[in-house]
Amino acid sequence: MIKKIKYYKRSVYIFLIASICVSACNSGKKNTDFDNDNKLELSIAIPSGGNSWVINNTQQDAVLVQDSGIHDWTSFDDVIRTYFHTKSTGELHLGLTIKSEEGPATIRVTVGDITKDVTITNTEYQNIDIGIFNITTAGYNFIEIQGLKKTGRYIGDINEVLIGGTATTKGVSFVPNDFSFYFGRRGPSVHLNYTLPEGKDIIYFYNEITVPQEEDVIGSFFMANGFGEGYFGMQVNSDTERRILFSVWSPFVTDDPSTIPDDQKIILLGKGEGVTAGNFGGEGSGGQSYKVFDWKAGNTYKFLLKGEPSTNDSTDYTAFFYAPEENEWKLIASFKRPHTTTYLKRFHSFLENFNPHTGNISRKGTYANQWVYDTTGKWHEITNAKFTADNTARDNARLDYKGGVEGNAFFMKNCGFFNENTTINSEFSRNPNGIIPTIDLSVLPKVKSK
């Protein structure tokens, strides 16, 4: 699920978001210390398009937040936030590159417990000084912007957020113009790469996932059983739909499945009841299957993947899913991958957000009780993993990613602009359970031809 793109490094970034928190703004202190005759130090320009969210309405976020900035802003109810990360505290000088539509518009800007109401009269983009605010805690902070009055249909357009002052002198973080706004707004993806027993041919990989209450955020992919040629896990696709997803990449590398030669296409061998199967593209290409299933936060779900060499230089991969609500193993799908002769390898799990409109909300999953089964009929428990992350994290575009061990389970967490941070390439060890999965492999659902 991780698309490889080119990123550009920058040593510091900042995330900003405009927000409209009416109660917070009205209850905060008004900024009366700023004199318009004093010149602010505004040396850092943050593109609002890559760093802002409408936090109370994801549908509005899809309309207002564009690559070029904040546009089509009509409602006083919209809560727009811009998050930023500072390494120090102190004064924050703040300005906006902004314009109104037809005449004066009034906005309210809040940082911490200080608010300032500003009237915008220019109808072409100008740099407007907002004022001086206080950053009292290093790490992620946010700016809130609320529309109060407008003359035309739109409140205004915001191109950049301008900052400076002592709070920024030790470094700030944001998604710059030469970084992918799409991936910056999605947030960092994090992975667990499992340590396998040496010298064993592995035919089954078993894993369990529990998503804590309120961590099942739209756009989340809790991937359980990743392997060298594909992935298997569960997603939150919308308010009304969740899926169990199993995919296998074609050996022919392309983002367009229509270009795959016939002899390198993934072949569907069979699928379970209620499973949809087809092709996918855009992030590599191959065969994909999914079952719409309303899995619940707080419940533990079990994943079992089988992989073994087959005839004519190919390998068959089969995915099984166990839900406590149904109390039995279900077949998701079985795929044949040509030009591949291998047992299962490169086991991993990941947590990613595939919806940029929810990249401001944190999500977390626990990954527990990993086991593999070799060709001699022996189970081996996996208790060690390395924590890694994608380029959004590695290039410091987003700093809100974390992983580790809780009890006898691994966990991963990302997005939401929290301040705890785990060093990439950290190695973890969980306590072994010592309880072999109670699965009668001989009575698993049989693969029926499509």
Give the DSSP letter string of 323-336.
ETTTTEEEEEEEEE
In 3-state terms, what secondary structure has residue 418? coil
- How distant is the alpha carbon of residue 65 from its chain centre? 17
Residue-wise burial string across 77-101, b where 16 or more C-beta atoms lie within 10 A, e elsewhere: ebbbbbbbbbeebebbbbbbbbbbb
State residue 434 phi and psi, 5-degree precision.
75, 10
Q: Confidence class of residue 449 from pLDDT cuts 50, 70 and 90?
A: low
pTM: 0.90
pLDDT at position 450 is: 54
Average pLDDT, the chain: 91
* pLDDT reading at 314 higher than 50: yes
Distance between CA atoms of residues 19 and 21, nearest Å:
6
pLDDT at position 258 is: 93
For the stretch 237-289, pLDDT in tens is: 999 999 999 999 999 999 999 999 999 999 999 999 999 999 888 888 899 99
* pLDDT reading at 341 higher than 50: yes
Mean pLDDT of 202-217: 98
Q: State percent of the chain over pLDDT 70.
A: 91
Distance between CA atoms of residues 238 and 236, nearest Å:
6
* pLDDT reading at 17 higher than 90: no
* Residues facing residue 389 across a β-bridge: 190
* Nearest alpha-carbon partner for 85 in 18, 162, 132, 137: 137
State residue 89 phi and psi, 5-degree precision.
-100, 175
Distance between CA atoms of residues 424 and 102, nearest Å:
49
Distance between CA atoms of residues 246 and 276, nearest Å:
10
Mean pLDDT of 295-318: 97
* pLDDT reading at 340 higher than 50: yes
In 3-state terms, what secondary structure has residue 102? coil
pLDDT at position 434 is: 93
Q: In order of start, what are the domains of the chain with their CATH numbers?
A: 22-179 (2.60.120.260), 189-443 (2.60.120)
In 3-state terms, what secondary structure has residue 148? strand
* pLDDT reading at 54 higher than 60: yes
Q: What is the DSSP letter of 166?
A: G
| In the block, residue with structure tokens 């990249």 | 359
pLDDT at position 36 is: 47
pLDDT at position 39 is: 84
Task: Put residue 48 in one of left, alpha, beta given phi > 0 → left and psi -120 to 50 → alpha.
Answer: alpha
* pLDDT reading at 146 higher than 90: yes
Q: Which residues contact 380 (CB under 8 A, 6 or more apart)?
A: 196, 197, 200, 371, 372, 373, 374
* Residues facing residue 349 across a β-bridge: 192
* pLDDT reading at 397 higher than 90: yes
* pLDDT reading at 371 higher than 90: yes
Distance between CA atoms of residues 18 and 51, nearest Å:
9
Mean pLDDT of 28-43: 62
- How distant is the alpha carbon of residue 162 from its chain centre? 26
pLDDT at position 393 is: 96
Q: Confidence class of residue 301 from pLDDT cuts 50, 70 and 90?
A: very high
What are the C-alpha distances in Å from 211 to residues 222, 352, 361? 8, 13, 15
Mean pLDDT of 203-220: 98
Residues 405, 408, 409: CA angle, nearest 5 degrees: 55
Count CB neighbours of 214 within 10 A. 12
Query: Where is pLDDT greater, at 409 or 28?
Result: 409
